[in-house]
Amino acid sequence: MLENVSLLGLFVSALLAATPIPFQSELLFVALQTLGTENIWLMILIAAVGNTIGSLVTYGIGLGVTRWKNRKWFPATEAQLARGHRWFERWGIGLLLLSWAPGGDLICLISGILRMSLWLFIPLVFVAKAGRYAVLAWLTAEAIKLAS
């Protein structure tokens, strides 16, 4: 039962960490890994799925922002949005692989604003997020080896 609660906590923390809510999931991930009670691959999968869903929330916020694009106070004109869309079509795919990094939530938000295809967005973000947690797991395992 405790395993399910800790994995649920990891999922929720990873989800929240990928939204505009200031939250970090890495500390809980490392703590659970250090305890050694959970399967590391399951932890990576659960954290990556939660973080990807959180990125979808941020993407959705970006979609919602565009309904105000014709307002006087909206920060971008139609021409700027079109230019941004062209630029993002060229470079955005690669940028999404950096969605794990600090500022990555902004990339996800811009993906929503520019209406990037979800068929591209979801797998790229998932690969980036899973890669981050896999590297974190490896670094933690190495630190545990050094400590013992």
DSSP annotation string for 53-91: HHHHHHHHHHHHHGGGTTSTT-S--HHHHHHHHHHHHHH
- Kindly report the backbone phi and psi dihedral angles of residue 69, in degrees, each rounded to the nearest multiple of 5, phi listed first: -65, -20
Rg (CA), the chain: 17
What's the pTM value of the predicted model, to 2 decimals? 0.87
Angstrom distance (rounded) from CA 56 to CA 50: 10
Angstrom distance (rounded) from CA 39 to CA 32: 10
**Tens digit of pLDDT per residue, the chain (148 long)?**
556 789 999 999 999 999 988 889 999 999 999 998 889 999 999 999 999 999 999 999 998 877 766 666 566 667 777 777 787 777 777 888 989 888 889 899 989 988 888 999 999 999 999 999 999 999 999 999 998 8
